[in-house]
Amino acid sequence: MAERYDTIIIGAGFAGLSAGIRLAQFQKRVLILESHKLPGGLNSYYYRGKGQLYNSGLHTVTNFNAKNRRWGFGLICRNLGIDSGEFRLVPPKHPSALQIPQGELLFGNDPELLRASIAREFSSQVDGFDRFCADLKSPRDPAVLQRAGSRELLGEYFTEPRLMDLLELPVYIYGGYREGQIDAATFSTVFRSIFLEGCGSPPDIKHVLDLLIARFKDLGGELKTRRRVAQIVTDGGRFRGVELADGTVLEADACLSSAGLAETGQLAGQVWGDSGDLSVFETVVAMDRPLDELGVDRTLLMVSLEPEFHWRAPEGRQEYFHLTLAASDNYAFSERPTAHHLKIGCFQKGSLWLGLDEETYRQEKLRLEEKMLAELTARFPGLLDEPVTHHESLTPKTVVDYTSHLNGGIYGGCVKSFDGGTPVGGLFVIGNDQAGIGIMGALTSGVIVANYKVVLAGN
């Protein structure tokens, strides 16, 4: 007979782990299945050289100052039963910047920094900015916002297109799940999470993953790694169980999948959503000295290289319209970090990187990596004075391998299931495709769907 669980969760990323912790507080048998050796999905870690730890994914963690129990970091801690201090998040020690060819704005964990920057560059727009921020704190009907685009929303507060470009830039870079416009609800959430509540960083991603896994196991949850789900078994439109790649069948009353809406549909033999094609190429550079001693005086830097901001990925693998930079050690850690990693990335159509022969893939990767390194040193020439101890690149193909998102979509597919529901009863999506963007978004998605769709719905 097949082994039976209350709930099976597909994927031990941040959404899967948070859903697992929440459910294990109410249910006796909760199982998380992870196809890889390590947990985390996109936000994971690996070792290079002499045991040097590298984080994939992680740039920053948003909602740093959100301690309200209904929202953001506060909501997560309360639902997971983990004290906020245990995450060991610390704030940035340098400002971050938004750049377009016409100029830049600075921002940081004090919203006043961005406001002052707007007042300097766009003095007529400050009132609109104040109104926008005030309205974000008392969110409007999400159903209405989900139908509108971000530009429509900004148009209610601002008249300067270049300012709207600058304000859209970071939100799209950290949550632009499809080309063109994203919905105003996701836009508002990400904007509030970055600008009003600020960012922070844990010492590394492994610390947070270990913390979540320990909590899950303490509550009696079961985590199985290297178990790939090959098929979702349904019966009369209702979830019944999963079949693993090795043929094992596991049954459960409910299933939460972080594989993506389209990808979960595929596992269930159905066609849902749209997996999208917006992925990323990112190069990480390791230095021997703190990055700010080498002139890297920004924590995050987001750049639109076009004079007008459009959210799109180029048709060629060697082109790019946007850059995103993240300095891993520019946070106020109490102990001096031993790793000094600088990431620079650009957005790519994932499909362009799939199905290449090995040599073409290697050449294309090397060429784009050279360009990323040149962009990096053009902005921070001090880096040229020091030897690079290690560098390597992640491509859309890497994202496909580690997340199961078909074209390496880093923010999930083009279609979101805002309530987590799917056409199969008892089967729900969590994470990116339930609009859970970023690490905090994924954690939130896990607990919300667990609460409302499983615990309260009696699944």
DSSP 104-148: EEEE-SSHHHHHHHHHHH-GGGHHHHHHHHHHHHS---HHHHHHS
Instruction: Please report how close the Cβ of residue 97 comes to another protein at its closest, in angstroms.
Output: 36
Q: Residue 57 in contact with residue 438, Cβ under 8 Å?
A: no
Nearer to another protein, 219 or 313 (CB): 219
Instruction: Please report how close the Cβ of residue 447 comes to another protein at its closest, in angstroms.
Output: 8
Q: Residue 17 in contact with residue 32, Cβ under 8 Å?
A: yes
Instruction: Please report how close the Cβ of residue 436 comes to another protein at its closest, in angstroms.
Output: 16
Using CA atoms in the order 150, 153, 156, 159, what is the torsion angle rounded to 10 degrees? -10
Site string for another protein, 46-85 (x = CB under 8 A): -----------------------xx-------xx------
Number of residues that bind another protein (CB under 8 A): 11
Instruction: Please report how close the Cβ of residue 209 comes to another protein at its closest, in angstroms.
Output: 24
Nearer to another protein, 50 or 137 (CB): 137
DSSP β-bridge partners for residue 33: 10, 224
Q: Residue 91 in contact with residue 198, Cβ under 8 Å?
A: yes
Chain centroid to CA 222? 25
Nearer to another protein, 78 or 115 (CB): 78
Does 25 engage in binding with another protein (CB under 8 A)? yes
Nearer to another protein, 361 or 418 (CB): 418
Instruction: Please report how close the Cβ of residue 281 comes to another protein at its closest, in angstroms.
Output: 39
Instruction: Please report how close the Cβ of residue 137 comes to another protein at its closest, in angstroms.
Output: 16
Phi, psi of 30 (to 5 degrees): -120, 130
- ∠ at Cα 173 (77, 136), nearest 5°? 55
Nearer to another protein, 275 or 444 (CB): 444
Work out the number of other CB atoms within 10 angstroms of the CB of residue 227: 21
Using CA atoms in the order 277, 279, 281, 285, what is the torsion angle rounded to 10 degrees? -170
Tokens of 15: 């959404």
Binding residues for another protein restricted to 434-453, rule: CB under 8 A? 451-452
Nearer to another protein, 26 or 333 (CB): 26
Instruction: Please report how close the Cβ of residue 386 comes to another protein at its closest, in angstroms.
Output: 49
Does 458 engage in binding with another protein (CB under 8 A)? yes
Nearer to another protein, 256 or 287 (CB): 256
Work out the number of other CB atoms within 10 angstroms of the CB of residue 283: 23
Whole-angstrom distance, CA of residue 103 vs CA of residue 118: 11
Among 26, 321, 361, 418, binds another protein (CB under 8 A): 26
Whole-angstrom distance, CA of residue 54 vs CA of residue 48: 7
Does 384 engage in binding with another protein (CB under 8 A)? no
Nearer to another protein, 78 or 93 (CB): 78
Instruction: Please report how close the Cβ of residue 444 comes to another protein at its closest, in angstroms.
Output: 12
State the residues that interact with another protein by CB under 8 A: 25-26, 69-70, 78-79, 451-452, 455-456, 458
